[in-house]
């Protein structure tokens, strides 16, 4: 149980276009979903915390107009990278929480974004 999927697994786009990444909890309802980005050979950096039905909470330094997060249901959160540029190329990973801090988060497989 506790499977999280992401779609697409990889995407290549032209500079200036927008890209939407979906994160789904397949067999449970996630109280909260998180979005991270990871540059090559680096750690995960939390971008934002997403709660169903409310606005996402962004970490310091993350542009909310650049990275749009929508959490329409307890099983789906989307991250849209607007007007993507080459420096946005990264590995984007989502995770889902059951709301109990004693249980670890469940991570999706990640989405590799390459902006040309």
Partner 1 sequence: SQQGEEDPQALSIQEGENATMNCSYKTSINNLQWYRQNSGRGLVHLILIRSNEREKHSGRLRVTLDTSKKSSSLLITASRAADTASYFCATGGRGATNKLIFGTGTLLAVQP
Question: Would you tell me which residues interact with partner 1 (CB under 8 A)?
Answer: 4, 6, 32, 34, 36, 41-46, 49, 57, 91, 93, 95, 97, 99, 101-110, 112
Residues contacting residue 31 through CB under 8 Å, at least 6 positions apart: 51, 52, 74, 97, 98, 99
Q: How far is the CB of 115 from partner 1 (least distance, A)?
A: 18
Q: How far is the CB of 108 from partner 1 (least distance, A)?
A: 5
Q: How far is the CB of 17 from partner 1 (least distance, A)?
A: 23
Complex with partner 1: residue 74 or 82, whichever CB lies closer:
74
Residue at token pair 């979906």: 22
Complex with partner 1: residue 6 or 78, whichever CB lies closer:
6
111, 10 contact by CB (below 8 A): yes
Complex with partner 1: residue 2 or 82, whichever CB lies closer:
2
Residues contacting residue 35 through CB under 8 Å, at least 6 positions apart: 23, 46, 47, 48, 50, 67, 69, 77, 79, 92, 93, 94
Complex with partner 1: residue 19 or 36, whichever CB lies closer:
36
């Amino acid at each position: 149980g506790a499977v999280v999927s992401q779609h697409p697994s990889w995407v290549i786009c032209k500079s200036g276009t927008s890209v939407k990444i979906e994160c789904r909890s397949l067999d449970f309802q996630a109280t909260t979903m998180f979005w991270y980005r990871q540059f090559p050979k680096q750690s995960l950096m939390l971008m934002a915390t997403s709660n169903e039905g409310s606005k996402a909470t962004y970490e310091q330094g993350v542009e909310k107009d650049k990275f749009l997060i929508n959490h329409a249901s307890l099983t789906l959160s989307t991250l849209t990278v607007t007007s993507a540029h080459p420096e946005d190329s990264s590995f984007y990973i989502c995770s889902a929480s059951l709301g109990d801090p004693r249980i670890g988060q469940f991570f999706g497989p990640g989405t590799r974004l390459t902006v040309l």
